[in-house]
Amino acid sequence: MTTMKAARIHEFGDFSVIRHDTVPLPRPAPGEVLVEVAATSFNPTEAALRAGMLQGFLPVDLPHTLGWDVAGTVAGTGTGAQGFAVGDRVVGWLDSGAAAEYVRAPAAVLVPAPEAIPLANAAALPLAGLTAWQAVFEHGKAAAGQRVLVNGAGGGTGGFVTQLAKYAGAEVLATAGARSAGAVRRQGADQVIDYTAGPVAASLDGPVDLLLNLVPLSSRDAAALAPLVRPGGRVVSIATPIEPPAGAEVTAMHMVARNDPAQLGELVRLVEAGAVAIDISGSRPLSDLADVHRLSEAGLTRGKVVIIP
């Protein structure tokens, strides 16, 4: 086999710019392995990349193969690639485009995939799981006994955020609409607030120690959430920044997730231990990737969608 299918963009634009190209099979460079892709997963940030909105801080050359997450099986090794052999099941966050049948990957960014779940489902873990880990532990500093409000718990990142905040020992109050409320409860949320039913503040019994915002918001909705945090508390947003009211003594930040294989290894261990479950809402073939982008941008996806080549 010398060629493979890959989902690529040759220009920036709406979902229709995603093409299914036949391209040469990649060859692993020194320190890299070749991974036969079991699945990648959809992340909404990649729709922003596809639209050309990330060129300012995450520029890509065209044509560009989509797919940051990978779960798959090592199919070949480059010289000096340490730690993996042909046949090993791996998972990781890549820049080399995993929306394809094969992808080359630096061995150093891969970790063994969890054995406890289907390999394809593990593709949902890297980017969303690492974003959640860094929001909850690094920036949010969630701790036992705290009250944590997760805004946007029904999404692909939110499922991990809720479970990791519970793992930290926090009381978790989570916003979700009707389609996600059951999943968010199963993930351990102590209270599920229907954000479609009225202001979140009206359903909260007192302020929270930490607000984790996972939703692009209007400035009015962002301003309504800001006063819900107690003095000395924290706000971490992965989407719209939330500014605390003047003099509120609340630490607020917007974060951008980074690849961290050690943290991914910790997440895999939590999945193996049954402490973190992966909320897979759908599994679609690679040829449907443009449709998944369309559905996400129309607000019609929830949880994680895995993409199978």
Ligand X SMILES: NC(=O)c1ccc[n+]([C@@H]2O[C@H](COP(=O)([O-])OP(=O)(O)OC[C@H]3O[C@@H](n4cnc5c(N)ncnc54)[C@H](OP(=O)(O)O)[C@@H]3O)[C@@H](O)[C@H]2O)c1
Shortest reach from residue 301's CB to ligand X, in Å: 6
Query: Of 21, 29, 30, which is closest to residue 99 (Cα–Cα)?
Result: 21
Identify residues 99-138 at the interface with ligand X (CB under 6 A): 128, 131
Does residue 177 bind ligand X (CB under 6 A)? yes
DSSP per-residue string spanning 173-225: EEE--HHHHHHHHHTT-SEEE-TTSS-GGGG-SS-EEEEEE-S---HHHHHHH
Question: And the tokens for 71?
Answer: 């779960």
- How does DSSP classify residue 247? T
Q: How far apart are CA 140 and CA 212, in angstroms?
A: 7
Q: How far apart are CA 16 and CA 36, in angstroms?
A: 26
Cβ-based nearer residue to ligand X, 180 or 283: 180
Identify residues 283-302 at the interface with ligand X (CB under 6 A): 296, 301-302
**Can you tell me which of 32, 34, 40, 45 binds ligand X, judged by CB under 6 A?**
45
- How does DSSP classify residue 28? P
**Can you tell me which of 59, 116, 169, 179 binds ligand X, judged by CB under 6 A?**
179
Cβ-based nearer residue to ligand X, 4 or 278: 278
Shortest reach from residue 200's CB to ligand X, in Å: 8
Please give the residue whose beta carbon sits closest to ligand X in the complex.
155
Shortest reach from residue 221's CB to ligand X, in Å: 6
Shortest reach from residue 151's CB to ligand X, in Å: 5
- 100 Cβ partners below 8 Å, 6+ apart? 4, 5, 6, 7, 23, 37, 65, 67, 286, 309
* CA neighbours closer than 13 Å in the CB half-sphere of residue 249: 4
Shortest reach from residue 101's CB to ligand X, in Å: 25
Identify residues 135-174 at the interface with ligand X (CB under 6 A): 151-152, 154-158
Cβ-based nearer residue to ligand X, 75 or 181: 181
Cβ-based nearer residue to ligand X, 35 or 257: 257
- How does DSSP classify residue 121? G
Could you give the 3-state DSSP secondary structure of residue 19?
A: strand
Identify residues 215-234 at the interface with ligand X (CB under 6 A): 215-216
By CB under 6 A, the count of residues binding ligand X is 29
Contact 66, 7 (CB under 8 A): yes
Q: Which residues bind ligand X (CB under 6 A)?
A: 43-45, 128, 131, 151-152, 154-158, 175-177, 179-180, 195, 214-216, 238-239, 255-257, 296, 301-302
